[in-house]
Amino acid sequence: MPNEPDAASSPPPVPRADTRYGFDRSLVGLKRRLIQEATVAIGMLEAALDALWKLDAPAAKEVRRRDDRIDQEEVAIEQECYRLLTLEQPFARDFRVITFILKVNSDIERVGDHASSIAKIATRMDPTHPPKWPTALVDMGQRVPVMCHSLLRAVLDEDAHLAAQIIAEDEIIDGLEKRLFEETQDLMRKDPREIHNGLLIYRLGRELERIGDLMKNIAEDVTYLVTGSIVRHEAKRQAHAAKNHGTTADAPPNA
């Protein structure tokens, strides 16, 4: 009796054309839903910031009500991803696409959460005593939404080059968040009446900085989707390598 082929070494089954067509349509539909979810979350962020600058409590409350839609869509997208993983058993790039959607879906939901938090802070500000917004916070409030829109283009176009620019932009956001801490300290030191606003202002900076981190995470996922390379922690590894190289070079020779 001839030897049967080893199942472990057998190539994956080739899907029928009609099955492949249906699977491709499902993937396209999932990616479209992800983009729509992200568009809603970014719109929430922009509306929350607009309500903040204007100290418009009713508008801020409306932003918070929109967060439920993001939560529901996140669950629906996740369930569809699991359905495809279970029933279709994707491999190679198809598997990468589904895992990409799963990860990005979770990060987009968190962007909605942070936008809702910004709106909540806007309702806690005293409209009769508007704060003087620190320049670092204003800069962050302008840069982060632009970063979000750039990320949306990188996802749509699967643009690894644009994703790399977004990863680099996150370092600027981190620097602004540190500067905001100093500006907020100075604000509260000069006028103790600003302590309440100062604490809220610094929290705003933290919310925006976290959204920047999420954009960086998604940009790293775009790079993986396009190239298959995992670049997460790459900057940290390079910094450690440079530091170790410098230490080795500067060390005195053995006696």
Q: What is the pLDDT of residues 132-171, one digit of tens each?
A: 899 999 999 999 999 999 999 999 999 999 999 999 999 9
Average pLDDT value over all residues in the chain? 87
pTM of the prediction? 0.83
pLDDT greater than 70 at residue 1: no
Look up the CATH number of domain 24-230: 1.20.58.220
Q: Which residue, 95, 119, 102, 97, is CA-closest to 41?
A: 119
Q: Which of 14-18, 51-55, 58-62, 203-207 comes out lowest in average pLDDT?
A: 14-18
Higher-pLDDT residue of 173, 13: 173
Q: What are phi and psi of 129, to 5 degrees?
A: -135, 70
| Spatial distance between the Cα atoms of 250 and 200, rounded to a whole number of angstroms | 46
Cα→Cα distances 79→69, 155, 178, 234, Å: 16, 21, 39, 31
Instruction: Extract the tokens encoding 242.
Output: 């440079």
Domain spans of the chain, in order of start: 24-230
What is the reported pLDDT for 238? 59
Here the tokens at position 253 are 């020779």
pLDDT bucket at 126, cuts 50 / 70 / 90: confident
Radius of gyration of the chain from its Cα atoms, rounded to whole angstroms: 23
Beta strands in the chain (DSSP E): none
Residue 234 has pLDDT above 60, yes or no: yes
